[in-house]
Structure 1
Amino acid sequence: MAYMNGITCICDNGRTLEDHRPIVGDDVISGIYRKAVALQGKRVLHVNSTYQSGGVAEMILSLVPLMNDVGVKTQWNILTGEGDFFTITKNFHNALQGQPIAFSDMERGLYLQTNECFSGQMAIDHDLVVVHDPQPLPLIRFYQKTQPWVWRCHVDLSNPDPALWEFLKGFVLDYDRMVISHDQYRRCGMPMEQRIIRPAIDPLSEKNRDLSEAEIQDLLTQYNVPIDKPLITQISRFDKWKDPEGVVDVFIEVKKHVDCRLILCGSMAPDDPEGWEIYRRVEEKARPYIETGDVILITAEDHLLVNALQRVSCVILQKSLREGFGLTVTEGLWKGRPVIASRVGGIPLQIEDGETGFLLDPTDTDGFAWRIRQVLENPELGERLGRAGKEHVRKHFLITRLLTDYLEMLHAELNT
């Protein structure tokens, strides 16, 4: 459970580290307790721009209670801003992933002013501050810094717009450390350590826990999702970098050969003002198939529904053009489903082509369609990929590993 109390997000999901023991084993759990011994009573603050919708918020939501459970007092604060601020920072997000941008002095001013106003609402006396992504990046300028600050960037930094990066770099240089998801995202000329921490999922969250057949059926009935045909599903925000229009093109090709249904499910994040525009474009492209019930668009914020859809799908897609990491891929693999995805960003860290899923160039519509047909026409292939993918996630991409990484980083910062 998470709810807002002023700017603080209160996290109490009722789960403890011990609850993860049956999944990850004794060695992992005991290793975490040992790392936490020297950190008892230390205080950590996470700051980001939303408490819902998207992998960043979901990771923090699961990480904060576990850090508190092992004795590290951890708080999560949410930056508050108006619509224009989030339009600006959405443009920043796009530009960090390679889209050219022009931003005015007025936009720079609003970006800084919002952070300055927010800083006046929040006292910081923690042992470590972790600031996530570009929205709250300038906060560091408005405090007398008495502790290490870490900038955690979750997006693909391999080819940012040069002008925007030069602007944001001025703030990043005030930080003691950068954390990125992939070695390819390192930025040259940065004096601080650029530490790699790969994202992870919580296997006990509503989005990932085991569901009974009755629960699954109730959810599908509630959202009018029939399963009389094989389901192809992409779970992603309606964001151009997730290429939902390209997914529709792939589906149209597959549909010529296999009678199937496409589900596009993505909630609308409060810090993403472009979502409804993208949704309307997808709706227009897919209209003939929506009318026949062969394409279903869902915008509900319902983690149990996502869980159910992934479990009943014959194929999970992630046709991203850019992807910082791609936790929807991790989720699909955890459900034991075959995942077919773009060879971009952090996705190849999760999928070994032909072993734990299939990887393709994101522009290869025919290639995606062919791989989908291959899985739909050979169920045993999908089962083999699914088994291997789930075990890969269990070993490398669960929340206990993320907790371990954060404890190690806290050790490193406090011993510097």
Structure 2
Amino acid sequence: MKRLSHYKEFVSESEISRIYRKGTELSKYHILHINSSYYGGGIAEILRNMVPLLNEIGVEVGWRAMVGSPDFFRVCKRFHNSLLGEGIDLTEMKKKVYEGTNEDFSRFTHVDHDLVIVHNHQPLPLIRFLQKRQPWIWRCHEDLSTPNQEVLDYLKSFIIPFDKCVFQTGKCIFSDFQKECSFVNPTIDPLSTKNEYLDDNKIKKYLNRIGIDLSRPIVSQVSEFDKHKDPIGALEVFKQINEEMDCQFILIGSVSRYDPEGESIYGQVREKVKEMENVSLVLDPHDIFINSVQSASDVVLQKSLKEGFGLAVSEALWKETPVVGSDVGGIAMQIVDGENGYLVDPGDYDEAAEKIMDILSDDDLRERMGRRGKEIIKDRFLITHQIEKWLDIWREML
């Protein structure tokens, strides 16, 4: 079992000691996280790594995931897309499915905790159906820079009773009504299978399985098969690179069973890959394979059109791999343009291809960016930083 003390390789002993002390102050409280699933996506990954460590330092922290029908998750996906700016027909039936599922979940979910954290929009209505006896926090992971106002206004009716909102970028979206806001960066766990150090032999073992030649340059992208991650655009960028220089592209993705659009997007990607050379498409690999690809890559691409945060960026930078990413959402928090990679216009394939080729063509630049990337993640985006920020918020509220 991982313990906080195991992280002294990455953070100072004084920081670890401080976190233990803060945890002891909260040892009499019971805290609950609620999200939409135990697996798939960055939220589940963060909670899966963070909750055991919080318990180890003395804070009783639980985690529950929503139970819902395919109709519920289809409606939630529509809401997700609309919060990213798409249009929607916000019918009474959609509201009924959304609110009704939360009401049903509340009937077999007993919440007698001292504080409740609700992640994203899926469980928002629970606060209406569970008798509120304690502070509630809404933790928003989504990019709300250009939301559909009708849906946002509808969701605000559930957000109003919350005691605090926690965002991951330094901007509170609720300027039209009083709401206390805090900001917590998502983070990676350097001791997880996906981020631990791998030696060259292990990396070679996994990449040999898909026929990758380690003597040739490698570009990769890791993301869900979601239109907002733009895997088709990533392929178009690589197509331009492949016309100019010898290179290989590894496109890794997953299809969440909670995302009704995922299979369709994956099908489109698979058909396009058939028309291309030097592209390896990998569906739902295990974490050690993702680690191997990010470690072996010369450049990682994050070609998102919208992005809440993008943990894959921090994962790659931790492995000293420069990242060329779209200048959207949380990607811009992780990439310092020209230092550990480049930020590009999400719609400009030419710019993305040019920046990737600049890095591939310059060994010194690539190594310098790689070193700086790891420094930035160590300073800002490791799991210990997020744990301490949450402890500080909870100490204020309890």
TM-score by length of 2: 0.97
1:283 to 270, 278, 282: 270
Say yes or no: does 1:90 pair with 2:83: no
* Counterpart residue number, 1:356: 340
Say yes or no: does 1:386 pair with 2:370: yes
2:94 maps to amino acid? E
Query: 1:36 Cα deviation (Å)?
Result: 1.8
1:117 maps to amino acid? D
Query: 1:51 Cα deviation (Å)?
Result: 1.1
Cα deviations by residue, 1:287-341 (Å, 9 ceiling, x for unpaired): 221xx4x111111241111111000011101011111111111111000001110
Cα deviations by residue, 1:373-400 (Å, 9 ceiling, x for unpaired): 1111112211100100101000100000
1:202 maps to amino acid? D
Give SS of 1:393's match.
helix
Q: Distance in 1 between matches of 2:283 and 2:175?
A: 39
Q: Distance in 2 between matches of 1:336 and 1:185?
A: 32
Q: Distance in 2 between matches of 1:301 and 1:125?
A: 38
Residues 180, 186 of structure 1: 8 Å contact kept: no
Give SS of 1:310's match.
helix
Query: 1:223 Cα deviation (Å)?
Result: 4.3
Q: Distance in 2 between matches of 1:372 and 1:301?
A: 25
* Counterpart residue number, 1:345: 329
Query: 1:343 Cα deviation (Å)?
Result: 0.8
Residues 157, 187 of structure 1: 8 Å contact kept: no
2:184 to 170, 173, 197: 197
2:167 maps to amino acid? I
* Counterpart residue number, 1:315: 299
Identical pairs, percent:
43
Give SS of 2:10's match.
helix
Residues 24, 59 of structure 2: 8 Å contact kept: no
Seen in structure 2, the aligned counterparts of structure 1 residues 77 and 90 have a Cα distance that, compared at 3 Å, is: same
* Counterpart residue number, 2:13: 26
Seen in structure 2, the aligned counterparts of structure 1 residues 274 and 150 have a Cα distance that, compared at 3 Å, is: same
* Counterpart residue number, 2:113: 126
1:311 maps to amino acid? S
Say yes or no: does 1:266 pair with 2:253: yes
2:150 to 158, 163, 183: 163
2:321 maps to amino acid? R
Residues 273, 281 of structure 2: 8 Å contact kept: no
Say yes or no: does 1:238 pair with 2:222: no
Residues 118, 136 of structure 2: 8 Å contact kept: yes
Q: Distance in 2 between matches of 1:46 and 1:225?
A: 40
Say yes or no: does 1:403 pair with 2:390: no
RMSD: 1.3
Query: 1:37 Cα deviation (Å)?
Result: 2.6
Q: Distance in 1 between matches of 2:63 and 2:387?
A: 15
TM-score by length of 1: 0.93
Say yes or no: does 1:75 pair with 2:62: yes
Say yes or no: does 1:413 pair with 2:397: yes
* Counterpart residue number, 1:206: 193
Unmatched 5+ stretches in structure 2? none
Cα deviations by residue, 1:92-139 (Å, 9 ceiling, x for unpaired): 111111111112211110111111111111111111101101111111
1:255 to 229, 242, 245: 242
1:387 maps to amino acid? R
* Counterpart residue number, 1:9: none
Q: Distance in 1 between matches of 2:39 and 2:285?
A: 9
Cα deviations by residue, 1:25-45 (Å, 9 ceiling, x for unpaired): 212111212222311131110
Cα deviations by residue, 1:251-274 (Å, 9 ceiling, x for unpaired): 111011111111110111222111
Give SS of 1:137's match.
coil
* Counterpart residue number, 1:53: 40
2:162 to 175, 193, 217: 175
Bigger mean CA offset, 163-172 vs 99-108: 99-108
Cα deviations by residue, 1:151-201 (Å, 9 ceiling, x for unpaired): 111001122101101111100112111111112452222322111111100
Residues 334, 389 of structure 1: 8 Å contact kept: yes
Give SS of 1:179's match.
strand
Unmatched 5+ stretches in structure 1? 1-13
Residues 102, 126 of structure 2: 8 Å contact kept: yes
1:229 to 189, 211, 216: 216
